[in-house]
A = this chain, B = another copy of it.
C-alpha cells in the first residue's frame, strides 16, 4: 500500500522513473497516456513513459535508454488503476529479465489506483462532469 510522505525526494541520474502504460495500436489511447504522464515528465526530468505492449517506446527500449543515461536503479510506476494478471505476472517477469540483462535494480511500485490521490481525483472528475453536463446537457452524451 502507498504511504504518504512529507519528504521531497531528489532524483539523481543514477535513478530513473518509468511510467508504464499498457499500450495499444490505437494512437488515441497512447495520446491519453502521454497527456496523463505529462505533469510527471515535466516535474521529473529523470522520468519517461513506456508501454507494456503494442506501442513504442517499449519497456525494453525505455530501460535501455535509462541505462545509457547512467541509471543504476529504475522505479517503474504502473499507469494501471488496479493489479490484474499483467501487473501480477507479466510485468514482474519482464522486469526481472531486464534487471538481470542490464545488471541494475528495478523496483515495481503499486498500480496508481491504490494511491489515495487517485480517489480524490476521481471525485473531482465526477464533480466537473456533472457541472459541465448541467451547462451543456448534450455535450457528453454517448
A17 B130 Cβ-Cβ under 8 A: yes
B contact residues around A82 at 8 Å (CB):
24, 28-29, 32-33, 36
Hey, which bits of chain A sit against chain B, CB under 8 A? 2-9, 11, 17, 19, 21, 24, 26, 28-29, 32-33, 35-40, 43-44, 47, 75, 77, 79-84, 91-92, 95-96, 105-115, 117-135, 139-142
| Assembly CA distance A58 to B6 (angstroms) | 39
How far is B114's CA from A128's CA once the two chains are assembled, in angstroms? 12
A83 to B32, CA, bound (A): 8
Question: Are B107 and A140 within 8 A (Cβ)?
Answer: yes
User: Which chain B positions have C-beta within 8 A of A128?
Assistant: 2-5, 115, 117
Q: Min CB distance, A125 to chain B, in Å?
A: 4
* Integer count of this chain's copies in the complex: 2
Given contacts A92-B142, A130-B17, contact A112 B106 (CB under 8 A): no
Distance between A131 CB and nearest chain B CB, rounded to angstroms? 4
Inter-chain CA distance A2–B36, complex, in Å, is 13
Which residue in B92, B117, B122, B130 is a CB contact (below 8 Å) of A9? B130
Partner of A122, one of B37, B119, B120, B141: B37
Find the residue from A6, A77, A119 having the highest chain B CB count within 10 A: A119
